[in-house]
Amino acid sequence: MHASTLLLFSLSLLLSTLDAKIAKRPFGQTAQGKPVDLYTLTNKNGMEAAITNYGGIVVALKTADKQGRLADVVLGFDSLDGYKKEHPYFGALVGRYGNRIQKGQFALNGKTYKLANNNGPNALHGGLVGFDKVVWTAREVPPNRLELTHTSPDMHEGFPGNLNVKVTYTLTDANELQIDYEASTDKPTVLNLTNHSYFNLAGQGNGDVLKHQIRINADRFTPVDSTLIPTGELKAVKGTPFDFTQPHAIGERINQTSDEQIKFGGGYDHNFVLNKTGSGPALAAEVYEPTTGRVMQVLTTEPGVQFYTGNFLDGTLTGKQGKVYRKRYGFCLETQHFPDSPNRPEFPSVVLKPGETYRSTTIYRFSAR
Ligand code: BGC
């Protein structure tokens, strides 16, 4: 081969390896013997997102640090077996209703609906078999998208209406994992979809997240009672450990149990009321990890975000690569409507009616500095 042809050949080979791509491999099967797959999206910079159609779970997310070194920044398991056992929604799609509904009960058009109380006296994250435990129908949309669809039958987990849901994961060449949610129903219902990834920007399993610095674009939050149900108040963060309008280390005020809200949450486990500008995705939060320089921005069309600092992780779960997940080894930024909205007419509505389309977008954007 002529030298210049060889050069061209190797150059095109190099370029083709840098194109965004999607790969699929078997990831195991459910207890009922249903096979599930793992889809790995890679962008032109080498960033990777591995997602399974079991629960729509983000299994791995590899992003670059300030030296360009990739590390997996989400908690989870190496195989499907880990996800089939009890775990705190690592990486999962949560529905029909992300977060809590008081006493597992709500009324809609004069009818009372009863849900499973799977979190003390309350309902949490869609019930016993929520969207995190169903096998979604997957469709690869090359080069950079995974489309997941699911039909939730009328009265599944107590929620009315046959609900068609579509969630699209897109890994952009701007190092963003974008999640687009879409749904429609044939009866009035309530809906609050989110993703429950636990992040550690120093790399999953590499210690706690207390030195990460976070800014949250929220002047108010929704204080809770001792069962983590909002009291209805939208409280100013100013002068409280919840003021992240300027960046603060997550650990700086997390143990200030003289603050009743910190005490109730065992740290941060609260919904922040986002300062909204326009209707498109707006910056909800930015997190910076000083040792690796990784930065994650979260943008959303949702009115709120649950900032949860892994207070209930206790070292009993061993995750990817044998890493033990101890207290506060990960944080979540669950974009959402406010908890218990079905029982709070004063909160932004979570009602979806026939003929309407539910739409929501959240973007996790990564960089390093
Ligand atoms: C909740 C936490 C809960 C966690 C895992 C979060 O959304 O607010 O209280 O422990 O999910 O279920």
The pLDDT tens digits for 5-27 are: 556 555 555 554 579 999 999 99
9 pocket-lining for ligand 1 (C-beta < 6 Å): no
- The gap from C-alpha 215 to its chain's centroid, in whole angstroms, comes to 17
Cα–Cα nearest to 221, from 191, 243, 196: 243
Q: Whose CA is nearest to atom 12 of ligand 1?
A: 88
Q: What is the DSSP string of 14-58?
A: HHHHTS-EEEEEEEEE-TT--EEEEEEEE-TT--EEEEESBTT-E
Tokens of 32: 């009922």
- Ligand 1: does its nearest atom lie under 6 Å from the Cβ of 334? yes
Helix (H, G, I), strand (E, B) or coil at 217: coil
What is the rounded distance in angstroms from the CA atom of residue 326 to the CA atom of residue 205?
8
**Ligand 1 pocket test target in 226, 312, 331, 340 with most atoms within 8 Å of CB:** 312
CA dist 218 → 211, 234, 247, 276 (Å): 21, 11, 12, 9
Q: Which amino acid is at 291?
A: T
CB atoms within 10 A of CB 351: 15
The segments of the chain whose pLDDT lies below 70 read: 1-17
- pLDDT at position 111, please? 98
Nearest CA residue ID for atom 8, ligand 1 = 269
Q: Is 334 a catalytic residue?
A: yes
Residue pair 359/294 in contact by the 8 Å Cβ criterion: no
Cis peptide before 69 (omega within 30 of 0): no
Any catalytic annotation for residue 125?
A: no
The residue assigned the tokens 């909800």 is 284
pLDDT of residue 11: 54
Look over the chain and give the mean of its residue pLDDT values, rounded to a whole number. 96
The residue whose two tokens read 């065992």 is 266
**Among 157, 176, 302, 334, the one annotated catalytic:** 334
Q: Give the position, in ligand 1's atom list, of the atom nearest the Cα of 269.
A: 8
Ligand 1 atom with least separation from CA of 311: 10
Long-range pairs of 238-247 with CB within 8 A, sequence gap ≥ 24? 242/268, 242/270, 242/272, 244/214, 244/215, 244/216, 244/218, 244/272, 244/285, 244/307, 245/215, 245/216, 245/217, 245/218, 245/219, 246/215, 247/213, 247/214, 247/215, 247/286, 247/288
Beta carbons of 305 and 218 less than 8 angstroms apart? yes
- Domains by residue range for the chain, with CATH: 71-127+148-368 (2.70.98.10)
- Ligand 1 centroid–CA 194 distance in Å is 12
Q: Supply the pLDDT for residue 278.
A: 85
The number of beta carbons lying within 10 Å of the beta carbon of residue 121 is: 11
pLDDT at 4: 58
The response to whether residue 181 sits with its C-beta less than 6 Å from ligand 1 reads no
d(CA 183, CA 160): 14
Q: What's the gap in Å between 71 CA and the centre of ligand 1?
A: 25
Active-site position among 196, 212, 270, 337? 196
| CA-nearest residue, atom 3 of ligand 1 | 88
> What pLDDT is recorded for position 20?
94
Give the distance (Å) from ligand 1 centre to CA of residue 9.
52
For residue 12, the model assigns a pLDDT of 53
Query: What's 197's DSSP letter?
Result: P
